[in-house]
């Protein structure tokens, strides 16, 4: 475990919980460079809208955007509520912050931290299709395919992971751990 993760463990979690590094920071960064290069190859002209789902995808978005050389990239944010404060989904998605601009006629990539049940993204794809983008794709850092309840076609996947609850690199548990550089498994 990195020094950073050890600090967070001492600072914020209950004594019976533990953090184990699943994907170290260096591996995350290397994979994002590959994903960015692929996205740049497939979208040479731009402008390309990267739309991050708040708050978890913000850190991934900021690294991914800088890994897309040459292509003019624009950044947008949307807010949704689905997970509440625990580890299980409510199964219901609500838009809490919409886009600031129209993306009609533009290439759009929705940027997500993790695809779990697929409920969030299947809802958002429906919303975005109504906005008539030229193309609509999904990039996620993490994918837990075993947990899928709704089929979602994910175009760019950083890492497939097993069915474990993870935190760090933007992902939270009750709003904690987002600032860890590694993706860690949180267990009680």
Q: Residue 100 or 163: which CB sits closer to ligand IMP? A: 163
Is-catalytic flag, 116?
A: yes
Angle among Cα 69, 101, 46 to the nearest 5 degrees reads: 25
Segment interacting with ligand IMP (CB under 6 A) among 19-27, 35-43, 97-105, 107-115: 107-115
- Cβ-based neighbours of 146, under 8 Å, separated by 6 or more: 162, 163
- Active-site option among 63, 100, 107, 116: 116
- Residue from 39, 52, 115, 136 touching ligand IMP (CB under 6 A): that is 115
Contact (Cβ atoms closer than 8 angstroms) between residue 19 and residue 13 = yes
Closest CA to 136 of 149, 151, 152, 148: 152
**Of residues 49-108, which lie at the interface with Mg ion (CB under 5 A)?**
56
Shortest distance in whole angstroms from residue 15 CB to ligand IMP: 21
Count residues contacting Mg ion (CB under 5 A)? 1
Cα–Cα distance for residue pair 47/85, rounded to 1 Å:
36
**48-54 vs 73-81, strand pairing mode:** parallel
118 binds, among ligand IMP, Mg ion, none (CB under 5 to 8 A by kind): ligand IMP
**Of residues 24-83, which lie at the interface with ligand IMP (CB under 6 A)?**
56, 82-83
What are 188's two structure tokens? 């009680």
**Of residues 86-105, which lie at the interface with ligand IMP (CB under 6 A)?**
89
Q: Residue 22 or 43: which CB sits closer to ligand IMP? A: 22
Q: Residue 108 or 111: which CB sits closer to ligand IMP? A: 111
Cα–Cα distance for residue pair 181/184, rounded to 1 Å:
9
Q: Is 36 in the site for Mg ion (CB under 5 A)?
A: no
Query: How far, CA to CA in Å, does 12 sit from each of 2, 93, 103, 145?
Result: 16, 28, 40, 30
What are the residues binding ligand IMP (CB under 6 A)?
A: 56, 82-83, 89, 112-120, 165-167, 171
Which residues participate in catalysis according to the annotation? Answer: 116
């Amino acid at each position: 475990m990195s020094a950073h993760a050890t600090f967070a463990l001492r600072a914020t979690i209950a004594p019976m919980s533990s953090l184990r590094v699943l994907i170290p920071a260096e591996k995350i960064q290397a994979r994002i460079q590959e994903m960015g290069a692929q996205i740049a190859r497939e979208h040479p002209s731009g402008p390309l809208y990267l739309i991050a789902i708040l708050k978890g995808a913000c850190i991934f978005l900021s690294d991914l955007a800088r890994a897309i050389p040459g292509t003019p990239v624009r950044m947008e944010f949307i807010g949704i509520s689905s997970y509440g404060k625990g580890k299980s989904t409510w199964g219901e998605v609500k838009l809490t912050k919409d886009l600031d601009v129209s993306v009609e006629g533009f290439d759009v990539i929705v940027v997500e931290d993790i695809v779990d049940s697929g409920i969030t993204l299947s809802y958002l794809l429906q919303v975005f299709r109504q906005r008539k983008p030229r193309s609509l794709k999904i990039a996620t850092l993490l994918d837990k395919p075993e947990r899928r309840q709704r089929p979602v076609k994910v175009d760019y996947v950083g890492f497939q992971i097993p069915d474990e609850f993870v935190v760090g690199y933007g992902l939270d548990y009750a709003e904690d751990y987002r600032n860890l550089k590694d993706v860690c498994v949180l267990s009680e």
